[in-house]
């Protein structure tokens, strides 16, 4: 590739890595016009990416966007503005961010996640039961998509009879790339109304769930307001949903295309050795992770990244997928190596916005991949890679469908 590659086309969505390689080498902090019409800087080198993710002069709050009046609704999570759900962790800076993150961390603890492991295993098995006898499945639709939504609903304390509503609303949100934007806004509004009502109910009758924990959490006598609790539940759902769908989807797809390494992982699982599963999930995140670009950041002061001057108010998008293939940081970055140990990838971000749900994501991805490979050992792709379609959204990277074949369970 000798000229500036064309970004954000369907071909690019299928395999963005050659284009990112070109940018890393020739234009590591690259000004581009996004398909939405918004101008932004793309940061593609690992060292620059790490610096930018932790730079306090890059605000998460869209009020700092110089073009904000003109591009309302084009930055951030679809539907969040019209549903009044803007005050969540991914849109705010310290000191508000510090306060909210401290409060949520009191409720969303590693212990709560660890105690949730048997439930995740149960959900995983139940979903695989749904197709294991048929010999074929679309793993996105039947497995990767429902698992995280049911898991987060359970964790939050959404009653079982209401979880299919969430599945529908989440489906609207994930399809927004090709669907009507009004539909997304409606789905997000319904989700918010539901969450507010659930918060009221849990306040009157608390349980052992995360929503009750969020209501109870207090820091120096301070609590979350109901609006803050609703925005927090929303961001946990949003941030924890499509990401995990795509980690399971992209991860399975990558394993199906690397038969030797997949066989090695299957052997380790059969031997009861789970160490490889842990490094494998990290490598799958680095190699083709679900969050292609970190979320929006806006310069609050003039600054320089990788030698490039950035003006106040400019949007900056850190390309995690490009940074995680940077040969200056990773040995043979384009090679999948499930045993890779020196693997400080940026798939979960870096700095104060580092993924709050990483322990849950790891738990779900490890359960999903281990159970799939163990129960359906001869799983194979039922389509040519060139026939598969990627979603083509800006921030997330994931497949629309993942058709597979396998010997039915007897």
Taking the complex as a whole, the smallest distance from the CB of residue 405 to ligand HEM amounts, in Å, to: 26
Tell me: does residue 224 bind ligand HEM (CB under 6 A). no
Taking the complex as a whole, the smallest distance from the CB of residue 53 to ligand HEM amounts, in Å, to: 6
Tell me: does residue 254 bind ligand HEM (CB under 6 A). no
Under rule CB under 6 A, which residues in 289-308 are in contact with ligand HEM?
289-291, 294-295
Nearer to ligand HEM, 87 or 261 (CB): 87
Nearer to ligand HEM, 236 or 269 (CB): 236
Nearer to ligand HEM, 132 or 214 (CB): 214
Exactly one of 13, 85, 229, 360 binds ligand HEM (CB under 6 A); that residue is 360
Tell me: does residue 166 bind ligand HEM (CB under 6 A). no
Exactly one of 357, 392, 393, 398 binds ligand HEM (CB under 6 A); that residue is 357
Tell me: does residue 356 bind ligand HEM (CB under 6 A). yes
Tell me: does residue 101 bind ligand HEM (CB under 6 A). yes
Tell me: does residue 348 bind ligand HEM (CB under 6 A). yes
Taking the complex as a whole, the smallest distance from the CB of residue 358 to ligand HEM amounts, in Å, to: 7
Strand bridging mode 29-33 / 58-59? unpaired
Tell me: does residue 397 bind ligand HEM (CB under 6 A). no
Exactly one of 38, 147, 170, 239 binds ligand HEM (CB under 6 A); that residue is 239
Tell me: does residue 361 bind ligand HEM (CB under 6 A). yes
Taking the complex as a whole, the smallest distance from the CB of residue 64 to ligand HEM amounts, in Å, to: 15
Total site size for ligand HEM, rule CB under 6 A: 26
Is the Cβ–Cβ distance between 321 and 293 less than 8 Å?
yes
Exactly one of 21, 79, 146, 349 binds ligand HEM (CB under 6 A); that residue is 349
Residues that bind ligand HEM (CB under 6 A): 53, 89-90, 101, 152, 235-236, 239-240, 243-244, 247, 289-291, 294-295, 347-349, 353, 355-357, 360-361
């Amino acid at each position: 590739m000798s000229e500036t590659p064309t970004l954000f086309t369907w071909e690019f969505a299928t395999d963005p890595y050659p284009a990112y390689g070109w940018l890393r080498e020739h234009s590591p902090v690259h000004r581009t016009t996004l398909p939405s019409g918004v101008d932004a800087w793309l940061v593609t080198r690992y060292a620059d990416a790490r610096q930018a993710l932790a730079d306090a002069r890059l605000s998460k709050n869209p009020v700092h966007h110089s073009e904000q009046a003109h591009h309302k609704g084009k930055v951030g999570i679809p539907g969040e503005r019209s549903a009044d759900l803007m005050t969540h962790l991914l849109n705010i800076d310290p000191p508000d961010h510090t306060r909210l993150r401290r409060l949520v961390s009191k409720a969303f603890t590693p212990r709560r996640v660890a105690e949730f492991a048997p439930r995740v295993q149960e959900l995983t098995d139940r979903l695989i039961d749904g197709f294991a006898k048929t010999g074929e499945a679309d793993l996105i639709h039947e497995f990767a998509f429902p698992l995280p939504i049911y898991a987060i609903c359970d964790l939050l304390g959404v009653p079982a009879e209401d979880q299919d509503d969430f599945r529908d609303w989440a489906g609207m949100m994930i399809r927004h790339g090709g669907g009507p934007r009004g539909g997304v806004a409606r789905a997000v509004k319904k989700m918010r109304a539901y969450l507010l009502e659930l918060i009221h109910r849990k306040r009157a009758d608390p349980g052992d769930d995360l929503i009750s924990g969020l209501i109870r959490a207090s820091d120096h006598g301070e609590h979350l307001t109901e609006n803050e609790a609703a925005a927090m539940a929303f961001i946990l759902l949003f941030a924890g949903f499509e990401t995990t769908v795509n980690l399971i989807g992209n991860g399975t797809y990558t394993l199906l295309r690397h038969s030797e390494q997949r066989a090695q992982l299957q052997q380790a699982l059969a031997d009861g050795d789970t160490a490889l599963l842990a490094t494998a999930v990290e490598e799958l995140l680095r190699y083709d992770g679900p969050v292609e670009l970190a979320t929006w950041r806006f310069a609050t002061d003039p600054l320089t990244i990788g030698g490039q001057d950035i003006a106040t108010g400019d949007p900056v998008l850190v390309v995690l997928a490009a940074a995680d293939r940077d040969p200056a940081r990773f040995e043979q970055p384009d090679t999948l190596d499930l045993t890779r140990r020196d693997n400080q990838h940026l798939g979960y971000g870096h700095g104060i916005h580092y993924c709050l749900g990483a322990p849950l994501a790891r738990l779900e991805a490890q359960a999903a991949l281990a159970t799939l490979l163990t129960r359906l050992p001869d799983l194979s792709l039922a389509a040519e890679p060139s026939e598969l379609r990627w979603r083509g959204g800006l921030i997330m990277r994931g497949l629309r469908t993942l058709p597979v074949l396998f010997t039915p369970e007897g």
